[in-house]
């Protein structure tokens, strides 16, 4: 007898897709999201205004919806609000950063950083109400393999930043180099490797950010419909 259900690629369980309907045409929804995201900026001056633990839980939950290689979800988010722990992280990060700025960074790297006004002082690591320390996990919870770990965790962090921004919060993507000290300070197991530190909070009143631009979409997008070669814009 012919089956009425659509074919499935294998015999494992499936569920119907719950589709997200933006309620407006795709083009409008896409533009609205862009208009929201273009206001995201890396903030280095945080207010000490509190942010609830529930807010942090929700933005980490959003990050956890990310796709990942073979759905291994190779990430751990450690949310720190304890002032003593934040101070230890700041002290260790600043020690590494002093080495970086005085010895490890190449002249070209320092020149690239100059417009951002960054330096080895990291007061935001204490001032921001939360530090979300992101680890990549080098084995699965059952001890098995993980795949495309950097790609997966990078996508999850992108969602984390977008979720925080959507909640009206500011973030900083911070990469103390090297960051092995985070495993020690936070007592994480060997297979969890530090990936990024993301201070989260409200921006300081009157906060300013570097006057830097973005590439135009035509500089980053190549539309190739085949046949006549690439063209710049869609019809
Ligand atoms: C992987 C990565 C590492 C970064 N590391 C640092 C960092 O250690 N310190 C810092 O102040 N900013 C850091 N940034 C922030 C960038 O400087 C910032 O995203 C860039 O200048 C663009 O500015 P915007 O985010 O305000 O648009 C990092 C960003 C990324 C994506």
Q: Which of 34, 41, 42 has most ligand 1 atoms within 8 Å of CB, for mutation?
A: 42
- pLDDT at residue 225 in the model: 86
Tell whether ligand 1 has an atom less than 6 A from the beta carbon of residue 173: yes
pLDDT over 60 at 201, yes or no: yes
Contact 42, 172 (CB under 8 A): yes
**Mean predicted confidence (pLDDT) in 191-218:** 97
Instruction: Tell me what the pLDDT averaged over the chain comes to.
Output: 93
Residue 192: φ, ψ to 5°: -100, 120
- pLDDT at residue 235 in the model: 42
Q: Where are the alpha helices (DSSP H) in the chain?
A: 26-37, 53-63, 83-99, 107-113, 124-127, 149-166, 181-185, 217-220
Query: If DSSP codes are grouped into helix, strand and coil, which group holds residue 181?
Result: helix
- pLDDT at residue 177 in the model: 85
pLDDT over 50 at 203, yes or no: yes
Ligand 1 atom closest to the CA of 176, numbered from 1: 8
| Assigned architecture for domain 42-205 | 3-Layer(aba) Sandwich (3.40)
Dmax over CA atoms of the chain, in Å, equals: 75
CB-side neighbour CA atoms (13 Å) of 162: 18
Cis-peptide, bond into residue 142, ω within 30° of zero: no
How far, in Å, from the CA of 189 to the mean position of ligand 1? 27
How far, in Å, from the CA of 58 to the mean position of ligand 1? 23
Distances from the Cα of 118 to the Cα of 51, 105, 111, angstroms: 25, 13, 11
pLDDT tens for 147-190 read: 999 999 999 999 999 999 999 999 999 999 899 999 999 999 99
Q: Which of 119, 159, 174, 211 has most ligand 1 atoms within 8 Å of CB, for mutation?
A: 174
- Inter-axis angle of helices 26-37 and 149-166, to 10 degrees? 90
Distances from the Cα of 68 to the Cα of 18, 71, 72, 133, 183, angstroms: 19, 5, 6, 19, 23
pLDDT tens for 71-95 read: 999 999 999 999 999 999 999 999 9
CA distance 58 to 181: 27
Q: Domain spans of the chain?
A: 42-205
How far, in Å, from the CA of 43 to the mean position of ligand 1? 9
């Amino acid at each position: 007898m012919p089956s009425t259900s659509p074919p499935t690629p294998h015999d494992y369980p499936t569920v119907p897709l719950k589709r997200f309907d933006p309620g407006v045409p795709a083009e409008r929804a896409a533009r609205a999201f862009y208009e929201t995201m273009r206001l995201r900026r890396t903030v280095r001056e945080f207010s000490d205004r509190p942010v609830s633990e529930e807010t942090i839980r929700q933005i980490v939950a959003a990050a956890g919806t990310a796709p990942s290689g073979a759905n291994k979800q190779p990430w751990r988010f450690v949310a720190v609000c304890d002032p003593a722990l934040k101070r230890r992280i700041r002290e260790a990060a600043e020690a590494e950063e002093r080495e970086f700025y005085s010895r490890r960074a190449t002249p070209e790297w320092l020149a690239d950083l100059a417009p951002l006004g960054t330096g080895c002082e990291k007061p935001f690591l204490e001032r921001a109400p939360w530090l979300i320390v992101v680890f990549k996990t080098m084995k699965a919870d059952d001890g098995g393999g993980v795949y495309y770990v950097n790609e997966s965790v990078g996508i999850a962090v992108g969602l984390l930043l977008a979720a925080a921004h959507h909640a009206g919060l500011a973030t900083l993507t911070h990469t103390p180099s090297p960051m092995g000290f985070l495993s020690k300070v936070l007592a994480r197991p060997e297979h969890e490797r530090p990936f990024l530190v993301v201070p989260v909070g409200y921006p300081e009143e009157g906060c300013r950010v570097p006057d830097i631009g973005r590439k135009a979409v035509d500089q980053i997008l190549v539309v190739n419909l085949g046949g006549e070669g690439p063209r710049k814009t869609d019809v």
